[in-house]
Structure 1
Amino acid sequence: MHAPRRFVSPLGWAGLALLLFLLPFALLREQSYVTLDDNLDVELTIPYLLTRHHVALDYRPTTVVEPIMNGLPRNALRPGLSVTMLLFGLLEPLPAYLVQQVLVRLLALLGMYALLRRHLLTGPTERSLAAGLSLAWAVLPFYSIYGLTVLGQPWLLYAFLNLRRGAGRWTDWLLIAAFPFWSMFVFVGPFVAVGLGLLLLHDWVAHRRWSWPVVGGVVLLLALYLVVEYPLVYSLLVAKQFVPHRLEFNLGQLGPQGWGGALKSAGQYFFMGQYHASRFFRGVILLALAVALLRRSPIAPERRRPLLVLLAALAAVAVFCGVYPRLIEPLQRTVPALGAFNLTRFHFLTALLGFIVLALSLQVLRDARVVMVLVMMQIVVGVGMNTEWLLNVRQLAGRPKRTEPNYQQFVAAPLFARVQDTIRQTTGQSPRTYRLACLGLPPAIAQLNGFYTLDSYQNNYPLAYKHAFRPLIAGELTKSPALRTYFDDWGNRCYLFSAELGKNFRVGAFQQRVVQDFAFDAEAFRRLGGRYVLAAARLAQPARAGLTPRGEFSARNAYWHLYLYEVQP
């Protein structure tokens, strides 16, 4: 007798391929490249500080996070009831980040496969196609610090489509209930609710019936989001702890200017998406759609209609996101609060909608070779546009990109420890007894290294603090209209600015930048509680800015060359 034939299922092969994709992170560990912009320069710091200062679940109005902005209200930051917060509470920042990425990508693979096999690619011969598309989904570039916000959406849609078919199983309700604890409400919560509302409206128009289980699922989802997002709801609507700086947002000044720029932006949303919500070229999706619609034997109307509806939805979202800043600008003059809510975040749904279009398009193609080529093309697009993965492969190959340092180089713990030691030896003070601000480097890196900063990059903080901070940099804002707009009409980066550095917020040691004239208000800095300026660029005339040099620091493996200045008494 022959031994039973052993084989690996298509999903198993996809899982093995995903683990191979994740291998560079496991090999590099501390030397892994981690996305810098809007990630390592802000997002990793928040759960780290909330857990290390034991205020993750402390929602009292008086609770503040001392290292941020002279004591940022705790309720201005992300909620504590999340898997992300749990991981950062158990692990150091980088291990927590990498573990979350592995878990989220594995769940993304399984979630897309479950969705496709249950609702879209249900045939016995479509397992391989479903597995290939699931792998293509799981390797997309995305911000893993947001948990399941993007790549976990297939699980949520899977559960709601199950409820739409009937009452659903307890596991469907569990999936809906779990999603708010590992996703960001402000990015997807309201927009998922709107999408599901449109699905309910379609059912009513087409069949004159409501799917009450779906209604119940939406209520459950939003109710648990309210529980998870209690700090945000309580601080803004109940206690009214502070007026958020977002009330001064002027999106029309920040985005592309004119209607031509708005339409160009719409095209970028349609063909590329948005980088927070997975930025990748949609060309393979559109190519598969075109091949499906233009094939010789016309596809049945019941298959053509969903493709056209989804394409129209993607186009409508892209146009809306592109023109929204222009539409909202005149309304903001009457209702300033409108600018605080970013309704363009419907784009967080477009990656999943695009993959549904891809799956439905490939389903109608009968040539297995064409289908295989298109799936492989999408995998290549996802991997090829995953900057984080590509830079780690370069790191393994011994060809790192100088302008994109790895985690160890960017955080540079030994270098910042030397700065702390110098201050301690000179004054006897620990970091919590003084405040500093950073020039040419993200304050988040100083915060990760134990410093308490007056500046920070935050999505939500008191408007009064923005107004109190502005005099420090007013001289530099006067010299640069671009920076003045950047701060006054947005202000999430509440930084020390230099017109000479522009928006270069990570000045590497190799750049050897020198700021000739730093128009800094040392007196205003002192009134705010500041004592030191930590700069990644040398000040040519620090005395003119009211500063005295206190040290210069460098290290072979650090990305930074730091200069320490003390405000003159």
Structure 2
Amino acid sequence: MDTQTERKQTGLTTLLQSSERKQIAAAMAVLAAYLLPLFVLGEGAHIRVHDNLDSNLAWYKVLAESGQTFGSVEAIIPQIINGNLSRNAFGPELSGIVWLHAILPTMAAYSISQALTRILAFIGMYLLLKGHFITESRRHWIVVITALAFALTPFWPSGMLSTLGMPLALWAFLNIRSGDRRISSWIVLLLLPLYSSFVLGFFFFLASIGVFWLIDSLKQRKLNLRYLMAIATMTAAFLLVEYRLVYSFLFDDEPNSRDEYFHARLSFWHAIRLSVKNFFLGHTHVMTVHGLFIMAATFIALWFVFSKKVWNAEWKFLLLLGMNALLSVWYAFWFYRGWLPLTERFHFLDTFNFARFHFIRPMIIYIGFALALRILADTGIAWKRAGIVLAAGQLVLLLGFNDEFIYRNKPTVGEFYAKEQFTDIAEYIGEPKETYRVASIGLHPAIAQYNGFYTLDTYNNFYPLSYKYEFRKIIEKELAKNKTVRTYFDEWGGRCYLFTAELGKRYMFKKDSNAFLKNLELNIGQFKQMGGSYIFSSVPILNADENGLLLEKVFDSDESAWRIYLYKAV
């Protein structure tokens, strides 16, 4: 090779590297803009309520203030359900998100967690695609844009890197599988458990990696022991971090609310419909927003693969598409009533949600998207441009899914927790909070918990079944009048709420609501027997006196989303 040719190749390489750096810088700028509202608005920001404001964010604060962050496996959280809630029901003390919320105010911790998760999601997908799926320098724009899109997906916040960290873990595993001896891969496998959840993502990822190891071993007729050791190492790290979960599973034999979770109830055709829905729309806890542009790119690429008969060359793309479909079917049919004979015999099939194998789908969908874009780009300049348009469309769509847009009609964080309003309530009651118990109607008990009140109600899916039965006596007549809430409470019970027949499964009645209760039938004697003194209601109770309730005062506040009617049990 002559000197002039070498110079041209060196110049081209430098140009490509410079272009890639500019692309990465642009991606980071987009990511920063996406995160900016959280850091600028703070408690004025709009964020997800379901499985977030109504639960996890309050739990972190309660745990931090309970003094039980390092509590023993026998420790309890006295602020919730009369001390019947185990410390083990909260996040482990080795979890990074627990420490963020212990050290920082809620929104500072939340914003940093969002930034950390999305940046690592970008890095993980970038390394995975560049190292193992799209290695051509001229296709690095696909790597960067796919990594950015993946990092912008509206993941479940308290899941941290449980799903968005999977590409980084897969990158490490594939490195080790190929014989790469870099220590960075092992460091990734050891550190990821500190900022992710085993049961909410990585159990299913590691189980799948184990299956691929087995298939690999059978195909190669040779055991890759370093690969197997990597799986064992990460699994051991997770079990160490989540030792409380291990203890509860192995040694806590007291019946708990999970024991009455019955999932197998769908008909065959309902499960088929759910399979299709999940394939195209995904799931709330692992939202991928892939039903429009990604699906368009996928089906166009699939048409090219079959029309050009290049399925041998594109086997990775086809494999991922097949896995995507299979996981959707698995998710839906986990709820098929045909499982009943097995769930009745093997109870753990009810208490552990094996449907969550579909939590692997975000990674699979976005790797498949990258491969689809590469197929389009390889087909010709016109289809490359079409791929760029589809990729740009996906980014715009994801930017539109920013919490500040999606939840703009929900209360802000400050309006939701209404600290000033609940401080006024506490001052009006005028007693130490630990000396009385409260419950809520028409709003989440997490709000009272966040503000330091001791509650009889809660949202947790791991508490004693005996407490559920005692609490049920308070709302027994209301459940009898409404089959929907009766089934919801009796066959799950994670929301141990003061359900009413008139309000049903609605938990958020803002102060502009015209709702009210006129036929309420609570067992206030049982409420008082359990230590209950006050009810915080976001709607007026017209027959309060018939229930042994006295309206003490109505609390309004400009900074609150609620109008709180304070009722005292008399």
Global fold match (TM > 0.5): yes
Whole-Å separation in 2 of the counterparts to 1:286 and 1:207 = 34
The question of 1:307 aligning with 2:317 is answered yes
Instruction: Report 1:41-190 matches (<5 A).
Output: 41-61=54-74, 63-71=75-83, 72-190=85-203
Name the stretch that deviates more: 292-301 or 197-206.
Answer: 292-301
Q: Is the 2:121–2:150 Cα contact (8 Å) retained in structure 1? A: yes
Q: Is the 1:269–1:347 Cα contact (8 Å) retained in structure 2? A: no
Whole-Å separation in 2 of the counterparts to 1:473 and 1:552 = 24
1:336, distance to aligned residue in structure 2 (A): 3.5
1:510, distance to aligned residue in structure 2 (A): 0.5
Instruction: Report 1:158-557 matches (<5 A).
Output: 158-238=171-251, 240=252, 242-253=254-265, 257-295=266-304, 298=308, 300-326=310-336, 327-365=338-376, 366=378, 367=381, 368-384=384-400, 386=401, 388-391=403-406, 400-401=408-409, 404-424=410-430, 429-557=431-559
Whole-Å separation in 1 of the counterparts to 2:553 and 2:516 = 16
SS at match of 2:92: coil
Q: Is the 2:163–2:202 Cα contact (8 Å) retained in structure 1? A: no
The one-letter code sitting in structure 1 at the alignment partner of 2:549 is L
SS at match of 2:137: coil
Name the stretch that deviates more: 467-476 or 298-307.
Answer: 298-307
The one-letter code sitting in structure 2 at the alignment partner of 1:408 is G
1:167, distance to aligned residue in structure 2 (A): 4.8
1:54, distance to aligned residue in structure 2 (A): 2.1
CA gap 1:336/1:543 in 2 versus in 1, 3 angstroms: farther
Q: Is the 2:62–2:452 Cα contact (8 Å) retained in structure 1? A: no
CA gap 1:548/1:17 in 2 versus in 1, 3 angstroms: same
Q: Is the 1:150–1:278 Cα contact (8 Å) retained in structure 2? A: no
1:455, distance to aligned residue in structure 2 (A): 0.4
SS at match of 1:126: helix
Corresponding residue for residue 569 of structure 2:
567
Q: Is the 2:134–2:140 Cα contact (8 Å) retained in structure 1? A: yes
Q: Deviations over 1:79-125 (max 9, x none)?
A: 11111011011101121111110111111111111111111121111
1:279, distance to aligned residue in structure 2 (A): 4.3
Tell me the percent identity: 32
Whole-Å separation in 2 of the counterparts to 1:167 and 1:391 = 43
Q: Is the 1:281–1:381 Cα contact (8 Å) retained in structure 2? A: no
1:241, distance to aligned residue in structure 2 (A): 6.0
Q: Deviations over 1:407-429 (max 9, x none)?
A: 111111111111101100xxxx1
Whole-Å separation in 2 of the counterparts to 1:325 and 1:293 = 30
Q: Deviations over 1:54-93 (max 9, x none)?
A: 21221241x1111111111111222111110110111011
How many residues in Structure 1 have an aligned counterpart in Structure 2? 546
1:440, distance to aligned residue in structure 2 (A): 0.6
Whole-Å separation in 1 of the counterparts to 2:136 and 2:311 = 20
Whole-Å separation in 2 of the counterparts to 1:210 and 1:364 = 34
Whole-Å separation in 2 of the counterparts to 1:145 and 1:10 = 29
- Please, what TM-score do these two structures have when normalized by structure 2? 0.92
Whole-Å separation in 2 of the counterparts to 1:222 and 1:175 = 13
Q: Is the 2:118–2:164 Cα contact (8 Å) retained in structure 1? A: yes
1:506, distance to aligned residue in structure 2 (A): 0.7
Whole-Å separation in 1 of the counterparts to 2:218 and 2:318 = 18
Q: Is the 1:438–1:496 Cα contact (8 Å) retained in structure 2? A: yes
Q: Is the 1:148–1:179 Cα contact (8 Å) retained in structure 2? A: yes
1:204, distance to aligned residue in structure 2 (A): 2.5
Whole-Å separation in 2 of the counterparts to 1:342 and 1:293 = 32
The one-letter code sitting in structure 1 at the alignment partner of 2:554 is E
Q: Structure 1 regions of 5+ residues with no counterpart?
A: 393-399
Corresponding residue for residue 396 of structure 1:
none
1:512, distance to aligned residue in structure 2 (A): 2.8
1:220, distance to aligned residue in structure 2 (A): 0.8
Q: Structure 2 regions of 5+ residues with no counterpart?
A: 1-13
Whole-Å separation in 2 of the counterparts to 1:381 and 1:201 = 39
Q: Is the 1:34–1:388 Cα contact (8 Å) retained in structure 2? A: yes
CA gap 1:241/1:52 in 2 versus in 1, 3 angstroms: farther
Whole-Å separation in 2 of the counterparts to 1:387 and 1:544 = 46
Q: Is the 1:59–1:231 Cα contact (8 Å) retained in structure 2? A: no
Q: Is the 1:104–1:151 Cα contact (8 Å) retained in structure 2? A: yes
SS at match of 1:511: coil
1:46, distance to aligned residue in structure 2 (A): 1.5
The one-letter code sitting in structure 2 at the alignment partner of 1:247 is D
The question of 1:33 aligning with 2:46 is answered yes
The question of 1:11 aligning with 2:20 is answered no
Q: Is the 1:248–1:336 Cα contact (8 Å) retained in structure 2? A: no
Whole-Å separation in 2 of the counterparts to 1:391 and 1:322 = 26
Q: Is the 1:438–1:455 Cα contact (8 Å) retained in structure 2? A: yes
Corresponding residue for residue 397 of structure 1:
none
- Please, what TM-score do these two structures have when normalized by structure 1? 0.92
1:387, distance to aligned residue in structure 2 (A): 5.3
CA gap 1:545/1:280 in 2 versus in 1, 3 angstroms: same
Whole-Å separation in 1 of the counterparts to 2:374 and 2:442 = 51
The one-letter code sitting in structure 1 at the alignment partner of 2:146 is L
Q: Is the 1:250–1:329 Cα contact (8 Å) retained in structure 2? A: no
Q: Deviations over 1:441-489 (max 9, x none)?
A: 1010111111110100012111111111110110100000111000000
Q: Is the 1:39–1:145 Cα contact (8 Å) retained in structure 2? A: yes
Q: Is the 1:141–1:383 Cα contact (8 Å) retained in structure 2? A: no
Q: Is the 2:311–2:318 Cα contact (8 Å) retained in structure 1? A: no
Name the stretch that deviates more: 125-134 or 274-283.
Answer: 274-283
The one-letter code sitting in structure 2 at the alignment partner of 1:291 is I
Q: Is the 1:552–1:563 Cα contact (8 Å) retained in structure 2? A: yes
